[in-house]
Structure 1
Amino acid sequence: MSVLWKVERYLRQTGMAETKFGRLALNDSRLVRDLRGGREPGARTAARIEAFINAGVPQ
């Protein structure tokens, strides 16, 4: 399962805006747009994204 697919599923399930997700996960508001545009995250970045998703919705 690709990182983008996991991000898209998370956004659908939580209703979080893509820019907010990027800011909270990596301090990069363009993250989701860049992933949709073909950006391939490195192993560390992918791990940080997955850790954010696994942690759940921040309060």
Structure 2
Amino acid sequence: MKLSRQDPYRRRRSPISIVVIILLLVILAVFALAWMRGGPQPLQTVEKTIPADQLGK
């Protein structure tokens, strides 16, 4: 017995909706990885001592 194309129990998803779902999952994964790493780290200043005889050069 053939299934009717109008069968309410068997809906076909459009390929566009599958692409959108995958894209959302990728974006959420990127945000999760960024959050787990702690986000952008602020730059720290590095203080290096310079000997007095090299200051005038």
The TM-score, its normalising length taken from structure 2, stands at 0.28
Higher relative contact order (CA 8 A, sep 6+): 1
The TM-score, its normalising length taken from structure 1, stands at 0.27
Higher helix share: 1
